[in-house]
Amino acid sequence: MVSRITRWMLDLQVLLLRRDWMGGMGDFVMLVTTTGRRSGRSICTPIGYVRDGDTFLAVTHGPSRSQWYLNLRAQPGAVLEIRGISLAARAEFLDEESQRQAALAAFRREIPRRFRMMFGVRADAPAAQLSRAVDERLFVRFRVLAPAPSRQ
C-alpha cells in the first residue's frame, strides 16, 4: 500500500511529466498506465526507462515495492507516455539471466550519467557490484503495439 504522501508525490510527477515540465527527466522517465490487478482501475506510474531499438526497457526494485510490475504480471497490456506521446504496449518480463544482463548493458550504454540513480552503483562499477544491482532489480521490455487512444 502506498502512503498518501507517496501517492501525492507520484501524482505530481505524473502531472509534470505529462506537461513536459520536468526538463531532461522525460529522457529517462516515462509514464506507464496499468490496470490494477485487484481494483481494475487504470493506474499511472512514472518509471525509469531506456529505448532499446524499437522497444523500451524499464527497471524496478523487487516486486514487493512495485505495484505497476505486479499489475503487468497479471495483465501485460499497458499505455506508455513518453514526452507527450502515448503508445499502447505489451510487457515482456526479462527473467533469464542473459536477458537481464543485456538489459543492464542497454541502461549502461544509454544513460551512463543517470545509471547510478537507477541502480545504486556507477555504470563502471566492478562486476560484483553490478551483479548485485541486477539481482535486486526486475526488468520489463515493452513492445509497442500502436499509438494509444487519446485520453478523454
Query: Which string of DSSP letters, residue by residue, matches 33-82?
Result: EEE-TTT--EEEEEEEEEEETTEEEEEEE-GGG-HHHHHHHH--EEEEEE
Write down the pLDDT at residue 137.
92
Whether 125 is covered by a domain: the verdict is: no
Whether 119 is covered by a domain: the verdict is: no
> What total of structural domains would you count in the chain?
1
Domain of residue 23 covers 4-95+141-147
Whether 100 is covered by a domain: the verdict is: no
Whether 45 is covered by a domain: the verdict is: yes
49, 56 in Cβ contact below 8 A? yes
Buried b or exposed e, range 54-68, using 16+ CB within 10 angstroms = eebbbbbeeeeebbb
Q: Distance from CA of residue 123 to its chain's centroid?
A: 18
Whether 114 is covered by a domain: the verdict is: no
- Return the sign of the alpha-carbon dihedral for residues 59, 63, 64, 69: positive
- Give the contacts of 81 (CB within 8 A, at least 6 positions apart): 17, 18, 30, 31, 32, 33, 44, 87
What is the overall mean pLDDT for the chain?
88
Whether 118 is covered by a domain: the verdict is: no
- Give the contacts of 40 (CB within 8 A, at least 6 positions apart): none
Whether 130 is covered by a domain: the verdict is: no
Whether 53 is covered by a domain: the verdict is: yes
CA distances from 31 to 98, 100, 114 (A): 26, 22, 17
pLDDT, tens digit (0-9, with 9 covering 90-100), for 111-139:
999 999 899 999 999 999 999 999 999 99
Write down the pLDDT at residue 16.
77
Q: Which residues pair with 51 in a beta bridge?
A: 56
Q: C-alpha grid cell for residue 16? A: 509534470
Low-confidence residues of the chain: pLDDT under 50: 152
- E strand or H helix at 144, and its extent? strand 137-147
